[in-house]
Amino acid sequence: MSTKQDYYEILGVAKGASGDEIKKSYRKLVMKYHPDRVGESEKKSAEEKFKEISESYAVLSDPKKKQLYDQYGHAGVDSRYSTEDLFRGANFSDIFGGGGAGGFEDLLSGFGFDLFGGSSRRRARSGEDVNFEMTISLEEASQGLEKQLAFNRYVVCSRCNGGGAQPGTGKETCPTCRGRGTISSGMGFISFAQTCNNCGGAGQVIKNPCLLCSGSGREKKRKDIKVTIPAGVDTGSVLRLKGEGHFAVSGYGDFFMHINVQPHRLFKRSGNDIVCKTKISVIRAILGGEVEVPTISGSAKMKVPSGTQPGTVFRLKSKGIMGLRTKRPGDQFVEVEVDIPRKLSFKEKRLLNDWAKIKKEL
């Protein structure tokens, strides 16, 4: 009778678990037990646990092996597959994102994990992105604007052209890792690798660093750019300028402008619509007429019918903010507040008294 622990128990899932549930549980356990994510005192037990959960996933993620295991247990797969064969058919490539071969592999490479003796050398990455915050007014958000900005960023070194070595010299294969970028401790078909501390994972070393950039391959310079902020942006909008970030070995990062729109003293924004309040006199509310109201782009005339009640909301079509994607303006909604005078002249009081008598309220 087999003394091996049940694969379902190892992954913490029920026997009838779906493929997605098995994958989700394995992904979670990988992050928990990867040897490069624990302390030195826990590494050995973490390596054993990692091997155990990986073997469980290799079997349960493969429909044919899973069927044999469900029917015969460990004997069903152990009698047909070597340990290496168990792993060979397993689909590890889409564990972290489904991006084809490389998604899972890249993640493990970042942790220093190597399947079947494959290379886990760090891949060259683009430079860091530049993040810039910009605060604008509601009027500017409505109309759009251009901003001239200046900032410091890393660009390709003008002396070594990004190579990092003094002109006339080059890079050499790292003698410590022999160009692999990692130093591995073997566990048969699975090995755990640490990034080479001599070359930093590059697999190559520079004996004669560039005098200008000290081997980094880049230098800092001031950058002036003009950013066009389109009409319709809102707080939380992010504008991206590709290739305007910092330089690294494989190219430039991007520039991201994060927009913040200041609150307005008169207007509130609701999507692409504008909401505001305006006061009208008692006479205008009773008799009706035309009043002038402020808009995001100036002012507009608004007709008020006789007998308008306080709190009535009127719509000014197309007086809102231009839609960022639709390129159509929203509307402005105006709530009427009736201004009650606090003081009246003698003549005003007499007229109101006469009116009250007509209405039989006196």
User: DSSP letters of 243-281?
Assistant: T-S-EETTEE--EEEEEEEPP-SS-EEETTEEEEEEEEE
Determine contact, residues 336/307, Cβ cutoff 8 Å.
no
Is the residue at 120 inside a domain? no
Spatial separation of the C-alpha atoms in residues 270 and 284, rounded to whole Å: 28
Q: Over the chain (362 residues), what is each successive 10-residue block's mean pLDDT?
A: 78 88 87 73 79 86 86 78 64 50 43 44 68 94 93 94 90 89 60 73 89 93 94 93 90 93 96 96 93 94 95 96 91 95 89 84 69
Contact 192, 45 (CB under 8 A): no
Provide the 3-class DSSP secondary structure of residue 80.
Answer: coil
Strand partners of residue 300 = 293
Kindly report the pTM of this predicted structure: 0.59
- Considering the domain architecture, whether residues 149 and 242 belong to the same structural domain is answered as yes
Q: For residue 40, give the amino acid letter.
A: E
Per-residue tokens: 120: 């886990």
Strands across the sheet with 182-187, in order? 113-115, 190-195, 182-187
Which residues, listed in sequence order, are joined to residue 223 by a DSSP beta bridge? 151
What values do phi and psi take at 95, rounded to 5? -60, -40
CATH number for position 97: 1.10.287.110
Among the candidates 82, 111, 140, a domain finishes at 111
What is the number of structural domains in the chain? 3
Q: Which range marks the domain in which residue 310 is found?
A: 268-358
